[in-house]
Structure formats: C-alpha cells, structure tokens
Structure 1
C-alpha cells in the first residue's frame, strides 16, 4: 500500500495522539486526578488508526473498555475527550461516561463499555439499521481476544452472515484476556479461523503494522459496502501495560514488556517505513511529536480546571425522548 505524504502525516499524527493521550492520562491518573479506572492502548495504536482510516462520520464503531484509541481514530475531539476522562460538565458525555464509557454519536462512535463482547451486538444492530434503510455505510465492532470467546459475539456474527449485514468484526488480539494468555483461553488457538467458520471472509494481520491493517480494512470495506455481508479481521498487537492501570502484571515478565517496546512499537515501525518510502524526515516526525504533546498537555490542563457537573445534572440524559 503506497500512501501520499499528507496521508502518512495524518496516520502518524493519529497514532501519536493516541500514545500521548494515554501516557499523559496515565500520569494524571497516578496523580489521583482521574476517577475510576483507565485502560491503556499503548502498543495497539496501528489497529484503530488502520481500521478507521477510511471510515466517515456516517460509519459506526462500537468500542471496548480500552476505547481512547478508537475515539481518537474516529475523529473525536481531543479537548472534549480530556474533559470527559476528568468527568467534567462539558465532556463528550457531560462527565457521566468517564474513561471507560466515552462516546460521541456525532462521530459515529457508539461508545466504550465494560461489557466483555458488548460491542458486537451493538455494531450488528447498527448494521441492520444501515441495511434496512438502504444506506451505504458500515458498522465496525472492536473486540478483544478474550471477548472473542463470548456467546453474544458468536450470535452477532451468525446474524450478520445470515442477513448479509455491512458489519466488520475487528479483533484486537493483545495477548491477554485480563490476566489470562490467549494461548490458554482460546480453545481453537486461531481467532480468525474461528470467525471465518461462520461463513465470512476472515483475515489475520500484524496489528503493529499500520499498512497491513489498513490494507486488510480496505478489502473489508469494499466487501461490506458492496452488499456482500460481513468480514472479520484479527489484528495481533500485544499491549504494553496491564489490563488496567495498577495491574501488577504478575503473569508476564519485565523482559517481555521491554522487548515489545523495543521491537514492536507501531509508531517506530511506521516512522521507519514512512521515511524509507517518502520525503518525510526525522525532523518532520520530531516536529509532529512536539506539537501533539503541546496540544494534549494544554487539553489536560484545561480539563483539570474545568467545572464539574452540577447536582441537577443527575436528572439529565436519563431517558431518550423521541418525537
């Protein structure tokens, strides 16, 4: 896949925004400023960036508990996301979602959620709406390797195949379902093959390789938008941090984590390839890094000082009112 320089810049900026947003959010969490839990996406940035690269605001994604990267890739505004993870009144969900339940329906981001495998039924429901109304967009479910074992996911895949829905199942195999290794918890040992057994095209790619993910997604989009039904893509990209921030990670070695950061950093791999195939230089990437860091630091600082919800806000956004 050959991409022009503006596209390469946008792809890198998207992944760098994910990395710096999570690392800065981690710092703020450890300082006691963020309520609830946070789940880091570091090491998996190429998946969300590649999957969402050619999606529009009219396309849907349904996320997981590890959703910051999905939000950023789908175009959610960084400043509004910062307000939300600080649970401020002007956040994307008015401070009611926080880190683990962030959503932005204007961008087709149906929300992160803590229900393991909960994204698949949501995305398939959106895909059914698309087909029923004769629309041309698609719906994507992000699913972890642990969630790949859930019955709701199997039911959603079967329904999508039976009804030939424009749904794409994006599996993020980051190596662990909470603290249990994928080699143990996945009976078949092959998530992609198991998904393909439902009767849809299924691909398995290196999730640290943005170009491989984007190429697989381009093929999936052509299939789904063409009315041929669902597609699944398994993206393998081990996570750098624990299941949640504070997880001691007694189930893996420090050497494993250090090796991942040294040899399987999606951003470093992207920079290397982009510099070899375009006019982008190390100085260009350094400048992008600095600008992104400055923007996120400003967003986090502003969010820290922003007003909290008022007590009366408890009674808003409780029920949807339909005309």
Structure 2
C-alpha cells in the first residue's frame, strides 16, 4: 500500500506504509556494535587473570590427578599406567580406606544436622532479642573465622586430653571419662563438638533469612490460634526452606573436607583406633607419607564423585520441600 505525499517543491512522491528509517538510526547501528565489541573485549580482558588461574590452578591439576589415578606413581619415578587397579584395590583390598569412609560418613551425618540446628536456634534468639545482637553476632561468628586454624586444633587437643579442662570439669560432677583424645568412643564426639562450635557462618545466613520473613504471617498464625511450635513448623521452616537447603548443602560439602583439625589432634596418625582417620587425612597419608601419589589421586576422585552424587541427590529431593518466593506450591 502506498500513499502520495507532497514534497516541499510540490512534486508528489510515493511512500509505503512502513515506518521510515532515518539516516541517523541507520548510522548509529555500526557505532553501537563497535561499542559492544569494545565492552566485550574489555570484559574478557578483566576475566583473563581469573581464567588463567582457573585453568592453571584448578582444571589443569584436576586433569593431571585424573590421569595419575590410573597410574602407579611415587613422585620420584615416572608414572606407570595400571588402569583401574587403584580403584579395584580401594574397594576390595583396602580395609583402612573403607573404615575411613565410615568414619567420615559418621561425622557428616551426625555433625552437620547438629551444627545447623544450633545455628538456627541461636539465629532465632538473636532475631527475637535485638538488644546487643550486633555484639553477639560478632562473638558467635568469630569461631568460624579461626576454627580451621592450627592454633585452635592445638588448644582443642589440650582441652580434651587427660587431665585437661574438660576432663577435670566432668570429674568435678562425678563423670570420669578420662581424655577424649585417646578414647575410641569419644574421638568422633570431640570432633563433632568442634564442628558445632564453628556454627557462626550458617547462623549469620539463617539470621538474614529470618529477617526476610514477613511479620504478617506470624500475626495471621496467631489469629488462627497457632502456638510457637506450630508457627515454627508452618511459617518459619517453609519460608526459610531455601536458606536451610543452602546451608545444608554447603555444610555437607565442608564436612567431607575436614582435615586440619583431625591431623593436628591425632598428630597425623588418625588415632585412636583410626577414629580420626578421615578420608582426606587418609588420602594425605597415602600420597605424601607413603609416596603412593597415584593411589591418593584415585581416592581424591572417588571423594569428588561421591560428593557430586550427594549434591545431585540433594538438589533432586529439594523440589519436594524447598519453597522459593513466588512459588505456586
């Protein structure tokens, strides 16, 4: 469809019904494209140091360790390809490895829920009592900053040894347990207490999530006659489910990586009775103490794959109990 229009000189011209594109608009497109390209190059330029570090310090070592896991390698001699022998040995011949897996799972399955429960309880108290909350937030968060240090592990060992403060305090109340460090039955509880003591990081995240819950929901629950327990299960937990899932995922992965405290407390041996021989400590001993770097690489990849499977299961099951803002469920 065309229409006749009058030019300034009086001559009619035919124009289509399509909107006219000015020369200014047509001329701006190449400039905008050039600007976009410059911004893209600048972005990649700023990312280059991180990419170099990621490829050289993360992906590269991971690929090398994957290759070494199929070899017999003791650092001093060239690696010898042995295929799946390391993995077969790990699950069929190495009873110490299987015990270290059991010790690690015991620590993760017991310590992580207790740590998160304590963090949530303290976060709810700080959310309810606002006076002095800033000081207590800092005080409770401090152990998370220094919890993995060597000095804390040394102090922890001194506290739970025979004749230490914990032993003397329990003896005062007639409970004679002796030192926890050398007790097979108390070594894991000692490590769990150390993990729970470092609840500051998840507590801060819980506290931030609690402050985002609308107070109108609690007021509506009170109108319906709900008590504190019902308000906790019907309001707090559903509204905080995404934060609970986030903390649960991070703390589970972190628990599988426990090493420094177990190494210091057990003097690198995993004693007593192998109850502190967590899988990371066992991997370290095989790689650096025994010189079996290929076997240690295989253990590392088994840990990576197992933790990845646990993470996938957690993400899949989270769909049934984790609720996000705006979710129709």
Give me the TM-score of the superposition, normalised by structure 2: 0.24
Name the structure with the higher strand share: 1
Name the structure with the higher helix share: 2
Give me the TM-score of the superposition, normalised by structure 1: 0.24
